[in-house]
Amino acid sequence: MRITQSMMTDRLLSNLGKSQERLARASEEMQTQKKLLKPSDDPVGAQRAVLTRGDLTANAKYSDNISQARGWMQTASDSMDEVTKLLHRAQELTIQGANGATGDEARKNIAAEIDQIVEAVKQAGNTNYAGTYIFSGTATTTKPYDTTTVPAVDTYQGNTGVIAREIGPGVSVQINTAVNSGTPPILGSGGSDGGLIATLRNISAHLKSGVPADAAALGTTDVKALDANLTALNKAQAIIGATVNRLDAADDRLSSNKLASTQLLSDTEDVDAATAYLNLSTTQSVYEAALKAGATIIQPSLLDFLS
């Protein structure tokens, strides 16, 4: 092939341009530490990166949901502990009241304490976590128990709704404890539903009445009713514990998913630092070699050798 000066110059320029393009790319990869800078660099990788980034964002949110749910469960568990303590105290008092040696006056004093316990139980039922009443079912802005009206109203003001938190894709978990459903209900709605409040009100009435049959009931049916309430309470505590375990497990799973997704994203998007550095220095030396070759071939022509 016949070669002309302009051909050599054109080729040199075009090759220098290509070299420079590669150099720019290599240095951009070094600067950003990313090999996937635009979708066309790796279309399938870009699609995967978009989905994986979405997964990571979702994961972070699920993690956030879990920690919020855990706070809720902790508060619920604390309230239930308090109610358990109150129930134990009520058991002691009831057994004391059932004792034949206890006089009517002493029984009335015990009854007054039991009434206080009822108020304390209702206070525990009104526990509020981050602005929501946690034992109100889904009526989270309504106090479950009225603690102000005199004479006392024991009616449960909440509902039986379920509150769930999403802790993973398509996985939600119930976080609220229903205190007015089940037989007997845990706290109940007063009256004769067998809930703790109803039992305590019964005991108080029996202590106050001074009728022998009532005093006898204290040691038999009332103690049994309290036992049944304690069982219901323990059951609720067990469910809370199990839910917390489930949250922990989900959190662990999210952590390992996060690790895997981050790894996948990094494999897709990030450059291997050593490779990027090697790539940069290789393209740099190629560019320098092209420049050098250019300087060598451009200069001489026959003109230089004619006198």
Dist CA 140 CA 276 (whole Å): 56
100, 103, 151, 170: which one binds other proteins (CB under 8 A): 170
| Smaller CB separation from other proteins, 213 or 302 | 302
Out of 112, 116, 161, 211, name the contact with other proteins by CB under 8 A.
161
Binding window for other proteins (CB under 8 A); candidates: 156-164, 212-220, 226-234, 274-282: 156-164
Buried b (16+ CB within 10 A) or exposed e, 152-179: bebebbbbeeebebebbeeeebebbbbb
Which segment (190-198, 216-224, 255-263, 297-305) binds other proteins by CB under 8 A?
297-305
**H-helix segments, 192-272:** 196-209, 212-217, 223-269
| Residues 46-85 within binding reach of other proteins (CB under 8 A) | 46-47, 49-51, 53-55, 57-58, 61-62, 64-65, 68
The residue among 45 and 182 lying less far from other proteins, judged by its C-beta, is 45
For residue 133 the two structure tokens come to 């009443």
Q: How far is the CB of 249 from other proteins (least distance, A)?
A: 20
Q: How far is the CB of 156 from other proteins (least distance, A)?
A: 14
Those residues whose C-beta lies under 8 Å from the C-beta of residue 274, and which sit 6 or more positions away, are none
Closest CA to 220 of 98, 133, 69: 98
Q: What is the CA radius of gyration of the chain?
A: 38
CA distance 249 to 153: 41
The count of chain residues that interact with other proteins, using the rule CB under 8 A, is 57
What are φ and ψ of residue 173, in 5° steps? -135, 140
Q: What angle do CA 225, 174, 124 make, to 5 degrees?
A: 45
Helices 196-209 and 43-98: crossing angle, nearest 10°? 10
Q: Is 141 in the site for other proteins (CB under 8 A)?
A: yes
**Going residue by residue from 6 to 45, which x/- string records binding to other proteins, judged by CB under 8 A?**
xx--xx--x---------------------x-xxxxxxx-
Q: Which stretch binds other proteins (CB under 8 A): 93-101, 116-124, 139-147, 238-246?
A: 139-147
Distance CA 119, CA 90 (A): 12
Of 113, 146, 166, 270, the residue at the interface with other proteins (CB under 8 A) is: 166
Report if residue 4 touches other proteins, rule: CB under 8 A.
yes
Q: Which residues bind other proteins (CB under 8 A)?
A: 1-7, 10-11, 14, 36, 38-44, 46-47, 49-51, 53-55, 57-58, 61-62, 64-65, 68, 130-132, 136-142, 159, 161, 163-166, 169-170, 172, 269, 301-303, 306
